[in-house]
Structure 1
Amino acid sequence: LAKNTHGKPFFMGIGFIRPHTPLIVPPRFFDMFPLDSIKLPTIRPHDIDDTHVRSIRGIPNGEEPGSTRTEDMGLRLYSNLVASYSSREEALRRFIQAYLASVASVDEQIGRILDVIDQSGLKEDTIIILTSDHGWGMGEKDYLYKNSLWQESTQVPLIVRLPDDASANTQCDRPVSLIDLYPTLVDLCHLKGTTMKGRKGHPLDGYSLKSLLMDPVKGKWSGPDEALTALYKWRMDYHPAQESYSLRSKDWRYIRYENGKEELYHTSNDPHEWNNLDERAEHAGRLIHFRKRLLDRIPQPGMIPPQPNWKPKGSSNPNSKAEAWKSQYFSSHPAADANKDGKLTWSELKAYREVIDTSSKNNPVAEE
């Protein structure tokens, strides 16, 4: 950036790993957040009891034996973390300290980038967007992970700095989606052309946020009233009817799991999403409304682009698929080969994973 003297338009995407786990950063960032200063989230005891997340636990479609990419990962990580310390409070306090330290380390790097932009003269015609791909549960509903459909996981930061600073330090409370960013940049940069890939392609989804950026209060919005989240199941194919979804409007959150179970929260009155209203008779009409809205949003089978024809090496029987998964695991974890004969047996894999699990119980910032 500092050497950018040609004046030509450019796009630069800069990704920071933290605060993704493992939450390892230099000690000076931990020093910024003494343990006794850590504020714990407001957690309601037994808050998970009126949810349906446990009803979809298990190995998702397409997963292999031994995989940890399951929907109840957050429940397991939370349980392991709490079991590693003398109390729930100490466990969360240490994890949050590491999380904040990781955020602070990224904040410092972002500051360096902004300094270069401002000092190089690029500020006058550069759009800056800061966002993330997901949030993170910090023990609410006994959940410590991403991949939930509640507020802690689905909400992400979205900060936009425009060259003219016309709407600086303002905030818009309308739910929008990350898929709206590309149409916004196309609009702000006055780019021409189509977003379709070929004549038979589908136009890119999403809506421009330009009007809201210019006037967060009175700006016109042509997009939907709800932000849609789909729970990714770590598989290659996509079946709309077999997924779990959340719709978040300004005042409500509606969740529908793949098994048909529902949750409904009046977020303007219940920001922590403590009270699931799905069985309240007075909200039957609202549930019908959100069911229709969800069906309007998710694609019909004929609209889904062809999926990658991906299959594990080997035949289609379960044993071959499991062996393919084991081979892939071995390539990423060569230390699992205990006798160093170049082959990984199931007993070696099991023993290695038991060591990893034991280590994670004693380390609150173990990898996902």
Structure 2
Amino acid sequence: MRVRQVFTVVILAVGTLVSPECYQNVSSGEARKLNDFTVDFGSFREKFHRKYEVSSEEFNRRQQYFQNATQRHTFLNSFSTDPQSAEYGINQFSDLSQEEFKDLYLRAVNDRASLFSGPSAEGLPAKFDWRDKAMVAPVQNQLACGSCWAFSVVGAIQSVHAIGGAQLEQLSVQQVLDCSYNNAGCNGGSTSQALNWLNRTRVKLVPHSEYPYKAKMGICHFFSQSHAGVAVKNFNTYDFSGQEEAMMGHLAENGPLAAIVDAISWQDYLGGIIQHHCSSHRANHAVLIVGYDTTGDIPYWIVQNSWGTSWGNAGYVYIKIGGNICGIADHVAAVFV
């Protein structure tokens, strides 16, 4: 069942954005400790290395956003009646307005996908995680750039390449950001459009070390066809809504899946299994689904995000299987290299 909730918050004028460097060097454990007691704004600023001056206009604005966030957390956590339920609280995004958060981080475009019409999956294991096979690269941080769509696509490609027998290697997100001309770089993009571009042009993705990430769009650096890299041979994109078991089979057979979701409530996520607070009607963020687990009371997808390891479950989010929570099954792409 899809659950849609309306959050009422005070949205003030958008001002100077917080520097992306402020989001680094804080562990998920430290972020959770902030929620073990009543947190004041001073503790938050110290923990997350905020530099704005006390009593300045920016200080007052950020403090108001922080207070709005604590009010949201009370509402969001009121639904968390199960020990495995998602927990919401203070994290590195708590002094951003919801509008700023969306403008910075939720920039994926959701193209329409064909409804999956293949066979139902049979004989699936109760738990499957590509990380257990060392086929998933470490969590990355997109910083203050709307490049989630590129991280999602590159994450799928580098995993599938490794599943095929190659060494797992971090490939260049910046290459996709700069060169996928049918997308808008840090201003957003579509996983399908990026995969279409890679498939049509046969552009080879080079290692991250050759084309490092800069969190901003630059001039495309072209490489010759003889240059070593990984090319996309094909891909498919499906709508698995109502067929999440088939989606589990698709993941186990083909590798990690690039998906576009509604992540509006993820600004406040700390950990646990999301079961409420998002729908499939406002898809806005691209992620990488790396596994699933149906062994507990609440079956869930294992999803790698691109907001660094200080966010969520060491950079991961768990989403309940069934009911298309967060639109997890609406737009799912498998890659072949």
The TM-score bracket by the shorter chain reads under 0.3
Q: Using structure 1 for the length normalisation, give the TM-score.
A: 0.26
Say which structure is richer in helix.
1
Q: Using structure 2 for the length normalisation, give the TM-score.
A: 0.27
Determine which structure has more spread, i.e. the larger CA radius of gyration: 1
Say which structure is richer in strand.
2
